[in-house]
Every structure is written in structure tokens, then in C-alpha cells.
Amino acid sequence: MAEFSLELNDDQKQIRDWVHEFARDVIRPAGEEWDEREETPWPIIQEAAKIGLYGTDFMAQAMMGDPTGLTMPVAMEEMFWGDAGIALSIFGSGLAAAGIAGSGTPEQVMEWVPQCYGDADDVKLGAYCVSEPDAGSDVSSLRTRAVYDEATDEWVLNGTKAWITNGGIADVHVVVASVDPELKGRGQASFIVPPGTKGLSQGQKYKKHGIRASHTAEVVLDDVRLPGRMLLGGKEKLDAKLAKAREGARTGAKQPAMSTFESTRPAVAAMAVGIARAAYEYALDYAKEREAFGKPIIMNQAISFMLADMATEIDAARLLVWRAAWLANNGGYTNAEGSMSKLKAGRTAVWVTERAIQILGGYGYTREYPVERFHRDAKIMDIFEGTEQIQQLVIGRAISGMRIE
């Protein structure tokens, strides 16, 4: 078991500085442009792939090669410090890869995780498809069905997924579907939908409040037929899980989507910390330079106290993220620490970015300054991969030991 430390090791510092340089020199200067265009920033994803920041090698180094669990959240913070929309376009494929890694066989992981990224000469995308028009936070109520055709050893998928990062434009879609609706969440399974599969299409593309450089759309599945080998984990494992669930046993019957989200929550929380830090640093620099009544506005207690609180909340959120990331790599959460980190970091990002606008005053409300974009980007951190209220529910169940509804 790795020792928990608040001091990053030399490798982690090197990765942090490397990612920060890319965020500073490549991502941040392009943030406003791609936010306005509301398009996937392919040239920047390709640049990330060329230097090894986008792909399986980096993911392996940051996740499997780090027993402390801190490398990935440190990298996420730096990337989202640069720009949240572009950073999500770069790291969005990671959720699909995590879904495959969490539920797939070793053979499936080896074959399909690399195809979520491609390489520097042929960049690819992955999409993790869980949420639906009538089932966002309530992932136990998915209506997308997967029916097994014994005659052909194929699965037939029908349904519509909503709010999917890279949805419809991804090369690899990982789809969570219900195979036994009576079992609700315990009757679900995950499937790989390869590129070019007949029956999969993009529905509406959403015009969003923030993270506009990240493609978000519906994914429509109309009689999508998949070979049996596209079921993550295999049919034998699924049949055993369903049998236990039908007997009333909960062990081994965890929802695939929730397992994936539990593993990624510290990284998502780190995204929020990065956005908050960007807004805080910009507001701090502005307060030192902007003069009113003959002195820099930071000399006024009202401003300096706001900045003091912003710095404190960011540090507190980061500490929760690091604790959760370490626990996820060293024995698992004991008291919903992953949800605690996401709850705190999401709230912090929204609050800090709002305070940054307040410090800049009227300028902060205009698009000539980036803090309004930081604020728009921050709000999603309270919503996706489990809303603020879902995190509270998870924490409430953990601290009470009761099934709070």
C-alpha cells in the first residue's frame, strides 16, 4: 500500500509541470475561440496526442503506474485550469476507457481501450453512454434494452442516450443497457459498439451554457446488433450476476455505471478545482493591478477577504480530492470520500468563479475577460457524473448506514 503524502514525488511534479505548460501554451490561448465555435477542437486533441498527453500510454502512466492515485487528479487540475471545454474534449474518451477497464475481460481491455484514443496520426474518440432523456441521475431506471438472440449469438440494443460526451462522433461507444428490467440497476450490462455499427446514430447536438468546446449529443440505438463478444465481461459472468440478483443477493451485482462513476469521481472533482484555481488566480492578479480610490483594490478588506476565502476553499477541495484519489487506489472508499470530494469541489468551482466575477465588477460580466467563461464552465461540475444532490444521497447513506431515498 502506498503511503499517503501531501508532497508530490519527482515524477508527479514533472508530469504536473509538463501538463501545465501544455495548458498554458496551447489550451488557454485557444479557449475563447473554441468556446465561441462550439466545436470539437480536433487540432488541439491532435497536438495532445503528438506529445503523448492523449492516449493509452499517458493513461497507463497516470493511473496504473501510480500507486498513490494522485497523478491523474493533478494532471486534470492543470488541464482544466487551461480551459474546461477543451480539456474535456481531450479527456472525455477516458470515461469510455474506464468503463471498458472496469467491466471488460483482459482481452477486451487490450483490444478496445486503445481504440478509444487511436494514435497521433489517427486520433479517435470514445463515448460512455449512460444517461437518458428520462433517466439522468436515476441510472437504475434506464429504458435502453439489450435482448439476447440465442440463434445468432447477438445482442440487439434499442433506446436513446442523452447528454453524451462525444456522442455520435466517437469511434467507440460504450453503452449501458438493461438486460432484465425487473432487476432495475442490478439487471444492467455494458456493451461495446464498434465504429460503423448499423443502427447507431447521433441525435440532437446540445447547445450548452458552458464547456462548449466539448461535443455533447444524443445517441440513438435502433436495432443495433452486436456480436456476443461485445458484451463487457462476457455472458457467463453476466448470467452469474443476474442469478445472484434474482435470488436477492446484492453482492457482485453493482450497477456498471455506478462502478465507473465511483472510480472517476476524484478526477472529475479535480477538474472543478482546476476551474476554480483559474478564476482565483485571474481575480488575484486583477485585484493587484486594478486601482480604485488611489490604490489597488486588493488593499480593500472586502476584496482581500474574498480572495482569502477563495484560496482557502480551493485548498480544502484539493485536499479532499487527493484523499479520495489515494483511497480509490489503496483499498477503496470507507465513507463515500469520492462523493465528498466531488460535492465540495463542484460547489467550490461555482462559488469561486462567481466571486471572481464580483471582484472584476462589470468587466467580469463581459466576454472580454475569461472569468465569465470560467463561471459558465463551472456549473456543470455540480451536475454531470452525479448531481450535487446525488452526491449528498451517497454520503447520507454512507454516514447513516441506511437506505435513504
CB 324 within 8 A of CB 269: yes
CB 75 within 8 A of CB 63: no
Q: Which helix (H) or strand (E) holds 85?
A: helix 84-91
Three-state DSSP class for 310? helix
Report the amino acid identity of residue 249: A
Maximum separation of any 2 CA atoms in the chain, in Å: 82
Going by C-alpha positions, the residue among 137, 20, 168 that lies closest to residue 87 is: 20
The grid cell for 279 is 478564476
d(Cα 116, Cα 96) in Å, to the nearest integer?
A: 7
d(Cα 106, Cα 42) in Å, to the nearest integer?
A: 30
| Residue of 247, 385, 388, 405 marked active site | 385
Alpha carbons within 13 A on the beta-carbon side of 387: 9
d(Cα 26, Cα 221) in Å, to the nearest integer?
A: 36
* Unique residue bearing C-alpha cell 453503452: 175
Three-state DSSP class for 161? strand
What are the helix and strand counts (H, E) for the chain?
14, 11
d(Cα 221, Cα 218) in Å, to the nearest integer?
A: 10
Report the amino acid identity of residue 232: L
CA dihedral 56, 60, 62, 65 (to 10 degrees): -160
**150 secondary structure, DSSP code:** T
Is 78 annotated in the active site? no
Catalytic center residues: 385
